Amino acid sequence: MIGRALRRLLPRSLGTQIALSTVALLAVVQACSVAILVLTRPPPPPIFDPDWLSQRLAALAVSVGGVEPGDRMAWLEAQPEAHWLEFSVSGARPPAPPGGRTEPRLRRFEADIRAAAGNRVGTISVALDPPPPGAPAFGPPRIETVPGPTAALAHAEELRPVRFFVADLQLADESWLRIQPHRAGRLVPELKLAATWLVLFLAAAVIAALWAVRRLSAPLATIAHAAEAFGRGSDAAPLDVGGAREIEAIAGAFAAMRERVLRFVHDRTTMLAAISHDLRTPLTRMRMRVERVADEALRDALKRDLDALEAIVVETLDFARVESGSARRDRIDLASLLDTIVDARIDALQDVRLATCERVALSANGAAVRRIVENLVDNALKYGGAAEVALVVRGGEAVVTVADRGPGIPDGDLEAVFRPFHRLETSRSRETGGTGLGLAIARTLARAHGGDVRLAARPGGGLIATLALPLPRDPEASSIL
């Protein structure tokens, strides 16, 4: 109920739905971008209060001077200030870094260190705010803000916060201690996090896009399946696709077309049945009158004409009936059906041979398939004197071939012979053939099952008639026996 209520609130136009889906996906992508920026934003670079920093530098230099030279680096790394500062101890004076930019500020800072350290520290050399070494390749450095007092709001030049420095302090044993902030990192953790979030958000966007496209295209797929089923002669249930207004219009037009086609076929079949019934009465009267004809030759000629006329009426009615596609379908064993047809011809002393025969089951009308195969076999026997039947499974179809060594059919007439009442003027003419509806009925029956009947010249002479019937979609129904 909730889903239906939400669908009623959505726009019904297909174009509007596509536009809204596109806007929604763009909004998701933008939200993902903002989330990545917020979640992976690095902390600002550190700032140091000059008074706090001078006191800590002096205390570290004084304290480390009383530590054994071999233990000094371990002691320094264990101090809390090691979280923001890095240290190096050497016997010679380190190379001087680039100088600071403000001399009064630099002099005051060195004086504060001297006042805090006294004579326990020798020479003091400080550079304030030089270019930081090891600047990151992109983005700001990932260094936490130093806790504690800060003079960030001070306006006096001497009290301005320190953002970067290099301090060289001479210890009591004349070794040198260099202290400076940690070099800026490369944002590797942030980049990994950003990449992870980006992959997750892109996957979510792809899933949302696939869901939206599937929701828009699902009704079209339903209509396509219904059209395919109708083309195969199946009685499909009424369409209830929903979706956009345009799709509902297509479904309605298809349903109306299907009803018109079914009504037309039914009306035509009914009309032909009525004509056949009406014609049989005068044909019967004509047969009775023909029996009173004294001339035997004339009587026989009239009987042949009446037989031909009645055959045309019967086969025309059969052709109309098979086009309606209303025959019931069951699961049949096509190989067993072919065995039965071939055995019946062999019992009648006809030259029919079953070559290759794979076991396959189909969902089809057994009588219709039997009629197709018998028609092809009878044609091969009539015009070639022998028939070779084979059954294989190829490309999702059950393919039945009936080959003969007869005179064949010209290439230009291979399709024309399927037209109703079409006869060739060769050995397959009216004198040796029927009414011209046999192949038309066979192809109509095959196409009602979603298959087809085709003719082709046989290498070495003769004709190959091929019946192709699609295997069912259900794996259990189409399993090889």
Number of domains in the chain: 4
Q: Domain limits at 344?
A: 330-470
Last residue of a domain, one of 286, 305, 323: 323
Q: Note whether 168 and 126 are within 8 A (CB).
A: yes
Residues 92 and 142 in one domain: yes
**Is the predicted pLDDT of residue 466 greater than 90, yes or no?**
yes
**Is the predicted pLDDT of residue 476 greater than 70, yes or no?**
no
Residues 270 and 201 in one domain: no
Which residue carries 């109703």 as its tokens?
A: 420
Residues 23 and 55 in one domain: no
Per the domain annotation, does 258 fall within a domain?
A: no
Confidence of residue 364 (pLDDT cuts 50, 70, 90): confident
Residues 162 and 69 in one domain: yes
Last residue of a domain, one of 183, 216, 249: 183
Per the domain annotation, does 244 fall within a domain?
A: no
Residues 115 and 148 in one domain: yes
The two three-digit tokens of residue 292, written as one number: 């009173």
Residues 315 and 348 in one domain: no
Determine phi and psi for 313, rounding to 5 degrees: -60, -45
Lowest-confidence range among 223-227, 266-270, 304-308, 477-481? 477-481
Per the domain annotation, does 431 fall within a domain?
A: yes
**Is the predicted pLDDT of residue 87 greater than 60, yes or no?**
yes
Residues 308 and 407 in one domain: no
Last residue of a domain, one of 323, 338, 353: 323
CA distances from 30 to 193, 205, 211, 212 (A): 17, 11, 19, 18
Per the domain annotation, does 205 fall within a domain?
A: yes
Per the domain annotation, does 148 fall within a domain?
A: yes
Residues 389 and 370 in one domain: yes
Residues 319 and 334 in one domain: no
Report the interhelical angle of 245-290 vs 188-231 (nearest 10°). 20
Per the domain annotation, does 317 fall within a domain?
A: yes
Residues 269 and 388 in one domain: no
Q: Note whether 439 and 375 are within 8 A (CB).
A: yes
CA distances from 35 to 29, 201, 242, 441 (A): 10, 10, 36, 68
Residues 202 and 283 in one domain: no
Rounded-to-integer distance, Cα 409 and Cα 417, Å: 9
CA distances from 323 to 297, 362, 370, 446 (A): 39, 20, 16, 10
Which residues, other chains included, contact 394 with Cβ-Cβ below 8 Å and sequence gap of 6+?
none
Residues 348 and 437 in one domain: yes
Per the domain annotation, does 256 fall within a domain?
A: no
Q: What is the pLDDT of residues 372-409, one digit of tens each?
A: 999 899 889 988 889 999 998 888 889 999 999 888 88
pTM over 0.75: no
Q: Note whether 64 and 75 are within 8 A (CB).
A: yes
Give the residue, 414 or 216, on which the prediction is more confident: 414
Per the domain annotation, does 409 fall within a domain?
A: yes
